């Protein structure tokens, strides 16, 4: 059903009464996948002790992942697909037990699709620190309680280090391609810079070489929205009953984020100044349709995500700087040897195309002379919505 599809992957639309009725129940304290929940299509890889860049230690970690296609005898057809901030390993497939939403890129990955699973062995992990099966704040620590706010600070490089462990466990010495958009593009770029010998092709979609001060500032107000929710309780909310978790702060953070993911053009065209109902918003208690749209998707988000994981992942995204301790961005990008596609969206106000231009200028092995810039009214989410155009460019990369 449409309501089960992630809001990131579809155009904005007014909220119907039927939509609203679906969220009448109280949201759980956390929308995280927990041990004992239906596994769905997940697989799990477990590893021993893991030390972060900052020196914090986890006694063991687990990555949830999904795969499609078959690994060739030569192990040379593996493609790593990396999700965005609030995505997960469920790239394709229906919503159902264990999976709160439909696959977020089902038009791009699959039999006969741009990333053709009849040809490629596709692997999609849930990133370390996430809340859909990989070790994160909602996971149980050795003392029998959730890690919660005790979970260590992670960087993009930490998350890629965990993905390297997964590649080793799968017997993949080199990826035929590493593909990522948004935060997943940060991971993909880090793979190609930090492990150039293990990446043959690279696709960086709507992602920057560094997280800028402006982007950190936008992230900071989202994190504050969560932390000031009294029911956040310093991160110790997992025993709270339905409706008593930090859903208001998490929903507000999501509403803020959605404004960065979409564009004025789309929101103005879709909603104009329409009302949500017959009740006037001009002093009579009614609401504008766009307000209800943001509320609905913010509230729905709380049923599939975890507040502590949101903080952990946003802070990891803030850490992103491929030039850190590598002589700067240009020196870091010069390390890339993979055949590379760099793609941006002209209306992206979260990660504007200037960032993609800098990546394309710095990598000497791009398949185009400059960044591929898609014209779209959907802003940052264009890489998830404009699947025909994105898929066509991914086919070009994979055919090189």
- Residues with a known catalytic role: 182, 348, 380
Do the Cβ atoms of 207 and 302 come closer than 8 Å? no
Residue located via tokens 């990369």: 397
Q: Tokens at residue 302, please? A: 């709380």
* Three-state secondary-structure class, residue 84: coil
199 bridge partner residues: 175
* 189 Cβ neighbours under 8 A, 6+ residues apart: 180, 202, 204, 207, 209, 322, 359
Q: Tokens at residue 351, please? A: 């990660």
As a whole number of angstroms, the distance between CA 158 and CA 316 comes to 9
Q: Tokens at residue 336, please? A: 């890339």
As a whole number of angstroms, the distance between CA 249 and CA 226 comes to 4
Nearest to 257 by CA among 323, 304, 310, 306: 310
Q: Where are the beta strands (DSSP E) in 24-172?
A: 43-47, 50-51, 57-58, 61-68, 78-82, 109-110, 115-116, 121-125
Distance of CA 278 to the CA centre of its chain: 37
Do the Cβ atoms of 397 and 367 come closer than 8 Å? yes
Mode of pairing for the β-strands spanning 57-58 and 115-116? unpaired
Nearest to 162 by CA among 65, 31, 66, 87: 65
Mode of pairing for the β-strands spanning 50-51 and 57-58? antiparallel
Q: Tokens at residue 281, please? A: 């918003």
- Find the distance separating the first CA and the last CA of the chain, reported in whole Å: 37
Mode of pairing for the β-strands spanning 339-345 and 201-205? parallel
As a whole number of angstroms, the distance between CA 82 and CA 181 comes to 7
The H-or-E segment that residue 340 falls in is strand 339-345
As a whole number of angstroms, the distance between CA 116 and CA 127 comes to 23
């Amino acid at each position: 059903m449409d309501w089960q599809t992630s809001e990131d992957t579809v155009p904005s639309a007014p909220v119907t009464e039927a939509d609203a009725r679906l969220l009448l129940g109280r949201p759980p304290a956390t929308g995280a996948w927990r041990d004992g929940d239906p596994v769905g299509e997940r697989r799990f890889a477990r590893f021993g002790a893991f030390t972060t860049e900052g020196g914090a230690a986890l006694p063991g970690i687990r990555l949830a992942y999904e795969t499609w296609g078959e690994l060739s005898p030569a192990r040379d057809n593996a493609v790593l697909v990396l999700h965005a901030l609030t995505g997960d390993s469920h790239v394709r497939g229906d919503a159902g037990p264990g999976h709160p939403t439909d696959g977020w890129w089902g038009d791009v990955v699959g039999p006969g699709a741009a990333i053709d699973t009849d040809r490629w062995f596709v692997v999609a992990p849930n990133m370390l620190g996430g809340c859909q099966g990989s070790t994160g704040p909602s996971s149980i620590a050795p003392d029998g309680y959730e890690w919660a706010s005790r979970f260590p600070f992670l960087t993009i490089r930490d998350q890629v280090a965990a993905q390297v462990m997964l590649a080793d466990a799968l017997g993949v010495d080199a990826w035929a391609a590493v593909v990522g958009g948004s935060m997943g593009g940060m991971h993909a770029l880090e793979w190609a810079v930090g492990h150039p010998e293990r990446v043959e092709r690279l696709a960086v979609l709507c992602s920057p070489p560094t997280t800028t001060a402006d982007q950190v500032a936008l992230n900071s107000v989202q994190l504050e929205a969560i932390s000031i929710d009294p029911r956040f309780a310093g991160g110790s909310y997992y025993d709270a009953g339905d409706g008593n978790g930090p859903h208001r702060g998490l929903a507000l953070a999501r509403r803020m984020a959605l404004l960065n993911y979409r564009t004025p053009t789309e929101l103005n065209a879709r909603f104009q100044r329409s009302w949500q109902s017959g009740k006037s918003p001009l002093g009579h208690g009614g609401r504008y349709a766009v307000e209800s749209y943001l509320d609905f998707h913010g509230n729905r988000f709380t049923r599939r995500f975890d507040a502590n994981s949101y903080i952990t992942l946003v802070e990891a995204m803030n850490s992103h700087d491929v030039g850190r301790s590598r002589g700067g961005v240009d020196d870091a990008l010069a390390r890339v040897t993979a055949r590379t596609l760099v793609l941006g969206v002209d209306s992206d106000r979260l990660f504007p195309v200037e960032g993609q231009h800098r990546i394309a200028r710095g990598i000497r092995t791009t398949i185009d002379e400059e960044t591929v810039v898609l014209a779209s009214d959907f802003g940052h989410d264009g890489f998830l919505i404009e699947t025909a155009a994105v898929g066509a460019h991914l086919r070009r990369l994979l055919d090189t």
